Structure 1
């Protein structure tokens, strides 16, 4: 049995009793965080073809169908369950749109006995650099993105995942360690190591810290 904040616990209880408004409030509270996750982990080949909001909506429909089963045996916190369902929808859509091209086990992580789309080096680099509008800024961004991707590709997969969870999905260290099945000290050291490598590269970008 997992523990939930008191407000979420009350909403879950009411949702389990058939209160549609409580379920709506519960799902809406997690929408922005899930949107960040989908943007980060959506296969680059599907960017522009699939709207993250549509992925989340499909996951919410699935959550509504399976809520009673979750409440009977909640093996993980509610948000992580929603995140898991959302990741499954992402994988389904990837396989539907890309077919055999999507069968790349290296791009899926086994988390909570299920697959999770990997945060690719390209997605991480794009998120780190943000958007630059002038031609010069765009040129700098393109060069730095390649250098960041090289650095990210040289990292262990677990280091990249720690970076994605801590820096972009806003998990704390304890949550990250639990999710990945590693110690808290291990998660912390991996995060510090990954950040140091990235900061060393980003410092070389003209005007990066002033943008």
Structure 2
């Protein structure tokens, strides 16, 4: 499992990386690989996932972020995750253009990038709200200001069905009825699955504390 860091630690790693500390950059990027995995799995078009996998997109994103970090001008983790998302969107869009747009020229590449960027940003904000949700466990609201990297890593630990129901409900923002259709289950079964998944997510996050 990648080293999980708090937002304050991430900000310090950004400052050290900007000063040329490659070890800090390596640690920073490794800690956000789970975050990128969640977004890549959600937004890479399912029609091309037999040709290019979400993990392939993430690896390419991490390599490019490492190579191009000198061009990053931010100082805070929110700016860094925004920059990472831009790199991720570019790589997803390239995969879509290669495997889908080439076969359907009516879809313009700039439309793909614009739509993807807006969609990925929405997922980011929903993920951030889930990280700050005080109802996820009895602890105080202040205790739920975990970093996105910690939440994403916890999601990656969950069984596939648990991760799917949380992603569909919270990151895609679907009502339970639509989640049930996507998962081919009854609405009642999905609600019970979601409750178990949220509890498992809480346990997974507590194990990282």
TM tier, shorter chain? Answer: 0.5 to 0.7
Distance 1:107 1:198, change over 3 A: farther
Tell me the SS of whatever aligns to 2:50.
coil
Shift of 1:66: 2.1
Q: Once the two structures are superposed, what CA deviation does each residue of 1:79-128 show, in whole Å capped at 9, x if it has no partner?
A: 111011011111011112221437535974638xxx52747xxxxxxxxx
Other-structure match for 2:90: 88
Which residue number in structure 1 is paired with residue 117 of structure 2?
Answer: 116
Alpha-carbon separation, structure 2, partners of 1:107 and 1:39: 20
**Is this contact kept in 2: 1:91–1:117, CA < 8 A?**
no
Q: Is the 8 A contact 2:14 2:25 kept in 1?
A: yes
Residues 35-74 of structure 1: pairs in structure 2 closer than 5 A? 35-71=37-73
The 2-side partners of 1:48 and 1:209 are apart by: 30
1:28/1:72 Cα in 2 relative to 1: closer, same or farther (>3 Å)? Answer: closer
Unpaired runs of at least 5, structure 1: 120-160, 176-190
Stretches of 4+ aligned residues off by more than 6 angstroms: none
Partner of 1:171: 128
Partner residue, 1:104: 107
The answer to whether the 8 Å contact 1:108/1:118 transfers is no
Structure 2 equivalent of residue 23 of structure 1:
25
Matches of 1:165 and 1:65, distance apart in 2: 23
Which of 175, 194, 202 is matched with 1:198 structurally?
175
TM-score, normalised to structure 2's length? 0.54
Question: Alpha carbons of 1:66 and 1:109: their partners in 2 closer, same or farther (altered >3 Å)?
Answer: closer
SS of corresponding position for 1:77: helix
Structure 2, unpaired ranges of 5+: 1-5, 133-168, 194-209
Structure 2 CA distance for aligned equivalents of residues 118 and 56 of structure 1: 17
Superposition TM-score, scaled by structure 1 size: 0.53
User: Residue 14 of structure 1 contacts residue 22 of structure 1 at CA under 8 Å; is this kept in 2?
Assistant: yes
What is the count of residue pairs matched by the alignment? 143
**How far does residue 199 in structure 1 lie from its aligned partner after superposition?**
2.7
Query: Compared with structure 1, are the counterparts of its residues 56 and 208 closer, same or farther at alpha carbon in structure 2 (3 Å cutoff)?
Result: closer
Q: 1:73 to 1:28 in 2, by over 3 A?
A: closer
SS at match of 2:128: coil
> What root-mean-square deviation, in Å, do the aligned CA atoms of Structure 1 and Structure 2 show?
3.9
Q: Which has the higher contact order (CA 8 A, sep 6+)?
A: 2
